[in-house]
């Protein structure tokens, strides 16, 4: 947001003033409160930096990360049978690619079940593909790799041992246990770990967990209905 005339004076006052009254006379009353969320003064941390230069740079970095990941994934998928390609046509490569990729996944899962589940676990924020927060993505990915994949592996093994039968009633019982006990436990672990990675105080973490625990549990239970 560009402010004519006294923008430098206003920024200095915003940085040094603690009580809201110290800004009286600089801007009309209520202006700061009415600024849309996500906007910042020119030159302030997180702001557009004049002309959206920082935003374009962030999007460019995000685009490079996304395109690099997509390129790597497609290359691995398309070249699963590379050592057998001699004499194959493009149609044959595309024909066997899905089946052989799935077979390779199952073989890796049998050989290293824990590591594979950790590799495919993660959390992602619901934002446009080139506008994600890289720090937040790193935190969520780290939690997914270290905690969600490994804990889910042991949790589902526990469920199979507690409910070993294959009768029809075992499926709804497992689903109910999954959406209540496990959902509440995992949400608690996730928010606590995320809070520590953001260097938040225990009181802040507990406050956020307290305000979100039951709403999220209610949503999980509604999936059973």
Domain boundaries, the chain: 1-51, 52-111, 113-225
Angle at which helices 134-143 and 53-78 pack, to 10 degrees? 40
Per the prediction, the chain carries an average pLDDT of 79
pLDDT in tens, 67-92: 999 999 999 999 999 988 888 999 99
- What is the per-residue pLDDT across 98-130, written as a single tens digit (0 to 9) for each? 999 999 999 999 999 999 999 888 766 667 778
Alpha carbon 143 to its chain centroid, in Å, reads 9
pLDDT tens, position by position, for the chain (225 residues)? 444 444 444 445 444 444 444 444 444 444 444 444 443 333 344 444 444 677 899 899 999 999 999 999 999 999 999 988 888 999 999 999 999 999 999 999 999 999 999 988 876 666 777 888 889 889 988 998 999 999 999 999 998 888 887 888 888 888 898 999 999 999 999 999 999 999 999 999 999 999 989 998 898 888 777
pTM, entire model: 0.64
Per-residue confidence (pLDDT) for residue 39, from 0 to 100:
38
- Whether 158 and 200 have beta carbons less than 8 Å apart is answered as no
Q: Which of 27, 33, 31 is nearest to 10 (CA)?
A: 27
C-alpha to C-alpha distance for 32 and 27, rounded to whole angstroms? 8
List phi, psi (to 5°) of 24.
Answer: -60, 135
Is residue 25 left, alpha or beta, with left meaning phi > 0 and alpha meaning psi from -120 to 50? Answer: left
pLDDT of 124: 64
**27: β partners:** 24
């Amino acid at each position: 947001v560009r402010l004519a005339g006294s923008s430098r004076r206003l920024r200095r006052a915003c940085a040094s003033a603690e009580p809201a009254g110290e800004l009286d006379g600089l801007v009309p009353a209520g202006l700061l409160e009415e600024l849309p969320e996500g906007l910042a003064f020119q030159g302030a941390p997180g702001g557009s930096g004049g002309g959206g230069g920082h935003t374009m740079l962030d999007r460019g970095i995000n685009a490079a990360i996304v395109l690099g990941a997509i390129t790597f994934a497609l290359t691995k998928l398309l070249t699963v049978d590379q050592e057998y390609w001699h004499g194959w046509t493009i149609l044959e490569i595309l024909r066997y690619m899905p089946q052989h990729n799935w077979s390779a996944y199952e073989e890796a899962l049998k050989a290293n079940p824990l590591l594979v589940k950790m590799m495919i676990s993660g959390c992602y924020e619901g934002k446009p593909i080139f506008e994600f927060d890289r720090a937040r993505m790193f935190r969520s990915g780290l939690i997914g790799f270290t905690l969600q994949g490994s804990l889910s592996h042991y949790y589902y093994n526990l469920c199979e041992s507690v409910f070993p039968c294959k009768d029809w009633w075992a499926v709804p019982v497992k689903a109910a246990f999954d959406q209540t006990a496990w959902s509440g436990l995992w949400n608690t672990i996730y928010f606590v770990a995320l809070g520590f990675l953001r260097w938040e105080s225990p009181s802040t973490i507990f406050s956020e967990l307290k305000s979100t625990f039951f709403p999220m549990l209610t949503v999980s239970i509604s999936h059973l209905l």
